[in-house]
Amino acid sequence: MRLYHFCVATMIILCCSCRKSAALVIPRNPNFDKGLPAQLKKGINLSNWFNDYSDPGQFATRFTTGHFTALKQLGFTYVRIPIGNTILFQPSSPSQLKAWNIGYVDSAVARANRSGLAVMINYHPGSDDYEKELYNDGSKIEELAAYWKAIAIYFKKYTSEQLVFEVYNEPHAAQISGASQTYTWWWPLQEKIVQAIRSVDNEHFIVVGNEGWNNITYLSKSQPYTEPGLIYNFHFYEPFVFTHQGAEWVGYPYTLLHDVPYPSSPENVKPLIDTSTNADVKNLLEWYGNYRYNGEKLYKLIKVAADWASRNKVALICNEFGAYKIHSQPADRARCITDMRTAIENLGIGWAMWECDEGFGLFYYNSNDRSKFLVDDAIKNALGL
Ligand code: BGC
């Protein structure tokens, strides 16, 4: 009997110490506890490179060393590269990344790094269909967790100064289905992914955000996770009437808006209201004018997120903000971006503008030759670069 007890006790001790040493095999990055990492101060989004709708013919070439060198010289510290949900993810075998695409993403990361820029890769579904599956079928999150574990294993060769992971762009399934648990459904699912990454990786920072397209209200109602090395994120597109004027993907009545002024006042929206024949547009503009949007108002809205982060002692970034240029007045757009960026920066929040060279862009082209990009000086100044 005594020998039996001794053996059982020894086995328990051995098991416990095995589990302990297994956890110690992955040492924790000491920079996890030092606030906002320097590489996440100033970023820009490289959209339409690896989005679901992007042309695979450009996977190798869309952003060149020339782009990265220019971005670095302008003063950016990182690029955020959205990776669509069909680019590397295979739902039937989620732990196997799509072999024919992973090399392109890998060389994109390496190319940016060689120019001295850190990279943030995020999971960025291009349509609501995928997210509806996640929302309606609780088991689907296991597939996404397996995908992220595979990503963490594949990208182990990069340091935390070179590469940052971001779990998911703008979850919003609960909000669009009118469900009540808008800011609670995504939080535990996201934690499963964080844990999947942390089971193999204690080196890289992980960016997390909440429902409502990563809005501030839902983030500031959230309880920070206990896992180490997390950076909390929100997106900021206020005033939406201005930043998304004419945006086709937003739909009616935003598609009808153009030349909306910023800052706003009842006086400066009046001419547009008078000439519009659409009642919804008139109402929207009236509301927008009465709100009197300006830099001070934007600062107050963003401060809600900053206060939440300082109360909870967590690092915070805003990795999407900006304004659509196609239907806005350039000077007003520059003013709005100046106010957004100044508020974000003054509140100690890291940022990334949406986006480098599409409809919300900083760069533009006068021909089809992507090596001949030009920089919009007004936006460069608005970004304080
Ligand atoms: C979306 C883009 C959109 C941008 C601004 C991003 O998260 O993926 O398609 O242009 O937000 O609305």
The residue with tokens 């999150």 is 141
**DSSP strand pairing (315-321 vs 350-353):** parallel
pLDDT at 179: 83
pLDDT in tens, 98-135: 999 999 999 999 999 999 999 999 999 999 999 999 99
Buried/exposed 88-101: b ≥16 CB within 10 Å, e otherwise: bbbeeebeebeeeb
**DSSP strand pairing (363-365 vs 373-375):** antiparallel
pLDDT at 176: 86
Mutation probe of ligand 1 site: the residue of 354, 357, 360 with most atoms within 8 A of C-beta: 354
C-alpha 363 to ligand 1 mean position (Å): 17
pLDDT at 80: 99
Q: What is the largest CA-CA distance in the chain?
A: 95
* Ligand 1 and 354: CB distance under 6 A: yes
pLDDT in tens, 236-246: 999 999 999 99
- The yes-or-no verdict on residue 291 having pLDDT over 80 is yes
User: What is the per-residue DSSP string for 144-193?
Assistant: HHHHHHHHHHHGGGS-TTTEEEE--S---HHHHTT-S-TTTSHHHHHHHH
pLDDT at 182: 81
Interval 248-267 mean pLDDT? 98
Interval 62-66 mean pLDDT? 98
> Which numbered atom of ligand 1 lies nearest the CA of 170?
7
Alpha-carbon gap, residue 324 to 330, rounded angstroms: 10
> Which numbered atom of ligand 1 lies nearest the CA of 213?
7
* Ligand 1 and 170: CB distance under 6 A: yes
Alpha-carbon gap, residue 104 to 24, rounded angstroms: 33
Interval 285-294 mean pLDDT? 98
pLDDT at 13: 45
C-alpha 168 to ligand 1 mean position (Å): 13
- Tell the residue nearest (CA) to atom 5 of ligand 1: 354
C-alpha 45 to ligand 1 mean position (Å): 10
- Residue 9 pLDDT level (bands cut at 50, 70, 90): very low
> Which numbered atom of ligand 1 lies nearest the CA of 82?
8
Among candidate residues 347, 330, 245, the one with its CA nearest the CA of residue 295: 347
Alpha-carbon gap, residue 193 to 168, rounded angstroms: 10
Other CB atoms within a 10 A radius of the CB of residue 367 amount to 7
C-alpha 91 to ligand 1 mean position (Å): 24
pLDDT in tens, 301-311: 999 999 999 99
> Which numbered atom of ligand 1 lies nearest the CA of 51?
8
Percent of the chain with pLDDT over 90: 89
Q: Average per-residue pLDDT in the chain? A: 94
pLDDT at 20: 41
pLDDT in tens, 309-360: 999 999 999 999 999 999 999 999 999 999 999 999 999 999 999 999 999 9
Mutation probe of ligand 1 site: the residue of 249, 321, 337 with most atoms within 8 A of C-beta: 249
pLDDT in tens, 12-62: 444 444 444 444 478 899 999 999 999 999 999 999 999 999 999 999 999
* Ligand 1 and 169: CB distance under 6 A: yes
DSSP 235: E
C-alpha 9 to ligand 1 mean position (Å): 58
pLDDT in tens, 130-175: 999 999 998 999 999 999 999 999 999 999 999 999 999 999 998 8
The residue with tokens 């949900």 is 85
Task: Name the pTM for this structure.
Answer: 0.93
C-alpha 370 to ligand 1 mean position (Å): 22
